[in-house]
Amino acid sequence: MKKWSASRAPAGRVAYVNGRYLPFAQAGVHVEDRALQLGDGIYEVAAVTNGAPTDEDGHLDRMERSLGELGMPMPMSRAALKIVMREMIARNRIAEGYLYIQTTRGAVRRDHVPPENPPRPTLIMTMRPTDMASLGQRMDKGIGVSSQPDIRWGRCDIKTVQLLPNLLAKQAARKAGAFEAWLVDKEGFVTEGASTTAWIVAADGTVITRDLSNAILPGVTRLIMLQAIADAQIKVAERKFTVAEAKKAREAFLSSATGAAIPVVTIDGQRIGDGTPGPVTRRIRELYAAKSGNKKA
């Protein structure tokens, strides 16, 4: 595949919808698509680095799992999906960016119960370039997070398009002057960020992140980071932690496909550590970049 040197998309942005590559402004789905009407769909987002998807199979593994939990088939074979993904990167001429994949149960007459013989799933792909200046600033200076109540549904392990609670949490965080929201369950434990995985570094250097369950999304970047941490023999614990524990941590950071090990320097306005990105966070970012090949992480 041709590698593109430009990091910003040209005016002719391209979307993929059900077998067709379309000008972005002309792309759309049927008014009765079940994702629009009922939130009946899932999505994935993969980073694109040097013109190629990062952690590609991890994202497709999670996509297949999410669809399976909803009783939906993959929209096409994995090999075909990879071809379309690369074609999207080539047509959009984005070397550094993000590729979004959305799959829905398709367009049928509105009914809460899924149809017994549904149409082929709707498949949508879009892209956007990375704002490298903004990402670099977050990595260098760190960001603030705001704790918000976790009001999401009980199956957060499925990456569905039902993101209204996440949106409300992010909106509240931005009003509080923070970049991200850390969601807190009824017992006072942090689950995850509104669109990220939450991590802290304890006083003894142990890296801590919440254990997998229906309460959090199994992050692909999280998985690769855990593997990289284990390879480096850094002590790690997958367990619950409270906001109070996080505020006393040596360091804190978050991760997602849009950025690995982004330093968190304040929580609810309270400084974490010395208020600057810490050495463990920087080390984990380097380990992840080396393992995944994502040099912008």
What are 178-224's pLDDT values in tens digits?
Answer: 999 999 999 999 999 999 999 999 999 999 999 999 999 999 999 99
Is 109 in a helix, a strand, or coil? coil
Q: pLDDT per residue over 7-43, tens digit each?
A: 444 557 999 999 999 999 999 999 999 999 999 999 9
Strands 122-129, 14-17: pairing is antiparallel
At 293 the pLDDT is 78
Q: What would the 3-class secondary structure string for 6-71 be? A: CCCCCCCCEEEECCEEEEHHHCCCCCCEHHHHHCCEEEEEEEEECCEECCHHHHHHHHHHHHHHCC
Active site members: 159
Strands 251-256, 236-238: pairing is unpaired
Strands 207-209, 236-238: pairing is parallel
14-129 and 135-292 share one fold: no
- Which residue ranges make up each domain of the chain? 14-129, 135-292
Fold of 14-129: D-amino Acid Aminotransferase; Chain A, domain 1 (3.30.470)
Instruction: Please give the Cα distance from 256 to 208 (Å, whole number).
Output: 16
Instruction: Please give the Cα distance from 22 to 9 (Å, whole number).
Output: 15
Q: pLDDT per residue over 52-66, tens digit each?
A: 999 999 999 999 999
Q: Which CATH architecture has domain 135-292?
A: Alpha-Beta Barrel (3.20)
Instruction: Please give the Cα distance from 225 to 234 (Å, whole number).
Output: 11
The pTM for the full model equals: 0.92
β-partners of residue 52 are 49
Q: pLDDT per residue over 266-284, tens digit each?
A: 999 999 999 999 999 999 9
Instruction: Answer yes or no: is pLDDT of 149 > 60.
Output: yes
Mean pLDDT throughout 119-144?
A: 96
Instruction: Answer yes or no: is pLDDT of 3 > 90.
Output: no
Nearest to 200 by CA among 252, 248, 240: 252
- Give the pLDDT band (50/70/90) at residue 137: very high
8 A C-beta contact, residue 216 and residue 193? no
Nearest to 282 by CA among 246, 242, 232: 232
Q: What percent of the chain has pLDDT over 90?
A: 93
Helix (H) or strand (E) holding 247: helix 243-247
Instruction: Please give the Cα distance from 67 to 42 (Å, whole number).
Output: 7
Question: What tokens appear for 64 in the block?
Answer: 């297949």
At 164 the pLDDT is 97
